[in-house]
Chain A
Amino acid sequence: MLTIDPVGLVGSEPFGKNGWILNGASVVGASHYNMGVENQDSIYWIQSNKNDVGILAVADGHGSKFHFRSNIGSRIATKTAAKMLYNFFSEYQVNSTTISSVKDVIRYSLPKRLVKNWNDNVKSHLLRYPFSHSELTKFSLNNNSSFLQKLHTNPHIAYGSTLLTAVLTKNYIFIFQLGDGNILIVDENRNILSPFDKKLQYDGHEQNILPLNFTNSLCMDYSWLEFDVGAYAHVDMVPRLVILSTDGYLNSFKNESGFYKLGIDYLDILDNYGVEYLQSKLQNILKETSLKGSGDDISLGYIYKGSH
């Protein structure tokens, strides 16, 4: 049976033989709240006991003047990814024997299909709700002619969003990431893995810096080529907790090690106090973090395996 849990509510039922629990929350950032701007992030999950599959997706709509429908773009992204990946991994039971035959499909074809489905769903939304006069007027006032030309050529830029997805199956965890945001995996020995974090490289000529908030996006041409994809077999690494978060969380910490500490801290909260306790506190934790830190929207989704 396919169950779709509403976001942020207490009490996702455990699924799969290991009793996995999916949950999370998304809050509007302190600065967006003060400006009356709605949350540009989205979170969505699907789980199935029958197929032993859980899918968790978070997305961060860009929110800049070019991406004026990015809150919708991020919602489309999480739902599209969760449903598409659920269908795929319910149909193909990936195990150590079959992994080699679907490796390239997972690495290349799934990101390509994710992007195609997102674009198809954005196109449908745009057909139902064409850009209004006021949206276009505002866009023209805020942008120069080169951006107007770009919007004309590719109206989907209005919906630009990142996408992070984790798929938990009986034998594997698969993770997919396009753009900003972070994935942390904590194993049974409390080791923390941050699969796609890129250290900025010094190329010998010019220091590389990263002004906040320039990111890869679903609305970019050939964005599927920019996906990071990872696969981890349970026999190699037994995960206890998988965390997906939008970049408003990382940007709230003084340094990256402060962010990585989240992995163990959340695992301890879940082990010692339980899922219901965390869910009752999570929105406030994220709101307070945003207020004291980045001011940005923050979403946190997690897949947790209880200790008992």
Chain B
Amino acid sequence: MTLPGGEISKRELHFIWIVDCSGSMRDDGKIQSLNYAIREAIPHMQRESENNIQADLLISALKFSTGAQWIIPPTQAKNFKWTDIEAKGHTDLGQALVLLSEVLHVPPMTERGLPPVLVLLSDGQPTDDYEGGLEKLLREPWGKKAIRISIAIGEDANMNVLEKFIADNERSPLLARNPEALSNYIRWVSTVVQSASARPKSQQKDYESLGSNVDIPQPPESISSAADVW
């Protein structure tokens, strides 16, 4: 029997990597660790997305150094492949956030839907007007409602900037001091956060201001040791 009604489809869940590939990411193998960690997380991300039967995961990636550009357009999880990126140039986070704000507009986004997941990975200090970019991002309704996660790669990252990106008192940036921690955080965000974001729970409207209706579980414990390199 044909199902009554029109075309049935799952809701799109946009998952966007925002990756710092400024010159300082060359230090101590950070960019190689990042490329490796994302590549290694992809099969886990794909498996998790197969379990999330209520959402259609679309993954994209944006890099910033001197300027910013999209490197991977929205791609179905099963077809997603990571392209290794090289590190050179400045840290134009502001430009990346402006680019991001343009795709979080309605359209191309729909008015009803799952909040996108934005994952910012950075090791340093923005060199452009990041505050202007962030303001533009947060002015977009889906920018404001997005699940924003930030991962600091090493102690030199500006935690204040990464906190402002999250703009949520309940959550802090994740600090990766070594490649293993970076891998763990990237795996966590690729799977646990993806899964939680695909299943928003109903919540009364007047609690909207108190937070998202996406229950993000606790991140993995920070791994710190004498072998910390960043």
Chain A residues within CB distance 8 Å of chain B:
29-31, 34, 40, 60-67, 70, 142, 144, 146-147, 150, 157, 160, 162, 180, 200, 206-217, 219-221, 247, 251-255, 257-259, 261-262, 265-266, 269, 281, 285, 288-289, 291-296
Some 13 contacts from A to B, beta carbons below 8 A apart, are A34-B51, A64-B201, A67-B201, A144-B170, A160-B203, A209-B112, A213-B203, A254-B9, A258-B7, A259-B6, A261-B6, A262-B4, A266-B4
Q: Give min CB distance, B218 to chain A, whole Å.
A: 10
10 closest A-B pairs by beta carbon, nearest first, are A258-B6, A295-B54, A64-B201, A265-B4, A62-B202, A217-B204, A209-B141, A254-B9, A213-B202, A262-B5
> Is the CB–CB distance between B113 and A62 below 8 Å?
no
Which A residues are CB-close (under 8 A) to B111? 200, 207-210
Q: Give min CB distance, B138 to chain A, whole Å.
A: 11
> With A261-B4, A281-B1 given, is the CB distance from A214 to B199 under 8 Å?
no
> Is the CB–CB distance between A64 and B53 below 8 Å?
no
A-B contact sample (5 more), CB < 8 A, given A66-B203, A200-B112, A295-B199: A62-B203, A157-B204, A200-B111, A214-B204, A258-B5
A34-B195 Cα distance, complex, nearest whole Å = 13
Of B129-137, B155-163, B207-215, the one contacting chain A is B207-215
Which A residues are CB-close (under 8 A) to B207? 66, 150
A65-B6 Cα distance, complex, nearest whole Å = 33
Which A residues are CB-close (under 8 A) to B210? 146-147
A301-B7 Cα distance, complex, nearest whole Å = 21
> Is the CB–CB distance between B5 and A30 below 8 Å?
no
The answer to whether B39 has its CB under 8 Å from any CB of chain A is: no
Max count, chain B CB within 10 A of own CB: residue among A60, A61, A162, A215 = A215
Partner of B203, one of A64, A208, A253, A261: A64
A70-B212 Cα distance, complex, nearest whole Å = 18
> Is the CB–CB distance between B205 and A269 below 8 Å?
no
> Is the CB–CB distance between A215 and B203 below 8 Å?
yes
A60-B5 Cα distance, complex, nearest whole Å = 21
Which B residues are CB-close (under 8 A) to A29? 54
Which B residues are CB-close (under 8 A) to A251? 11, 112
> Is the CB–CB distance between A64 and B215 below 8 Å?
yes
A269-B140 Cα distance, complex, nearest whole Å = 44
A38-B14 Cα distance, complex, nearest whole Å = 28
> Is the CB–CB distance between B6 and A257 below 8 Å?
yes
State the interface size on chain B (CB cutoff 8 A): 44
A266-B215 Cα distance, complex, nearest whole Å = 36
Q: Which residue of A lies closest to B211 (CB)?
A: A144
A220-B55 Cα distance, complex, nearest whole Å = 29
Which A residues are CB-close (under 8 A) to B220? none
Which A residues are CB-close (under 8 A) to B10? 292-295
Q: Give min CB distance, A146 to chain B, whole Å.
A: 6
Q: Give min CB distance, B219 to chain A, whole Å.
A: 15
Q: Which residue of B lies closest to A288 (CB)?
A: B3
The answer to whether B115 has its CB under 8 Å from any CB of chain A is: yes
> Is the CB–CB distance between A254 and B5 below 8 Å?
no
> Is the CB–CB distance between A207 and B4 below 8 Å?
no
Within B156-211, the residues touching A (CB, 8 Å) are 170, 199-208, 210-211
Which A residues are CB-close (under 8 A) to B55? 295
Which B residues are CB-close (under 8 A) to A61? 202
> Is the CB–CB distance between B203 and A67 below 8 Å?
yes
> Is the CB–CB distance between B11 and A294 below 8 Å?
yes
B1-41 to A contact mask, C-beta < 8 Å, 1/0: 10111111111000000000000000000000000000000
> Is the CB–CB distance between B141 and A206 below 8 Å?
yes
Which B residues are CB-close (under 8 A) to A292? 3, 8-10
The answer to whether B78 has its CB under 8 Å from any CB of chain A is: no
Q: Give min CB distance, A231 to chain B, whole Å.
A: 25
> With A200-B111, A209-B142, A211-B113 given, is the CB distance from A254 to B8 under 8 Å?
yes
> Is the CB–CB distance between A216 and B139 below 8 Å?
no
Which B residues are CB-close (under 8 A) to A295? 10, 53-55, 199
> With A251-B11, A253-B6, A295-B53 given, is the CB distance from A207 to B141 under 8 Å?
yes
> Is the CB–CB distance between B8 and A252 below 8 Å?
yes
> Is the CB–CB distance between B200 and A213 below 8 Å?
yes
A64-B112 Cα distance, complex, nearest whole Å = 19
Q: Which residue of B lies closest to A278 (CB)?
A: B4
> Is the CB–CB distance between A207 and B105 below 8 Å?
yes
Q: Which residue of B lies closest to A250 (CB)?
A: B112
> Is the CB–CB distance between B203 and A296 below 8 Å?
no
The answer to whether B85 has its CB under 8 Å from any CB of chain A is: no
A281-B3 Cα distance, complex, nearest whole Å = 10
Which B residues are CB-close (under 8 A) to A254? 6-9
Which A residues are CB-close (under 8 A) to B141? 206-209
A266-B203 Cα distance, complex, nearest whole Å = 30
> Is the CB–CB distance between B5 and A63 below 8 Å?
no
Which B residues are CB-close (under 8 A) to A212? 11, 112-114, 200
Q: Which residue of B lies closest to A213 (CB)?
A: B202
Q: Which residue of B lies closest to A29 (CB)?
A: B54
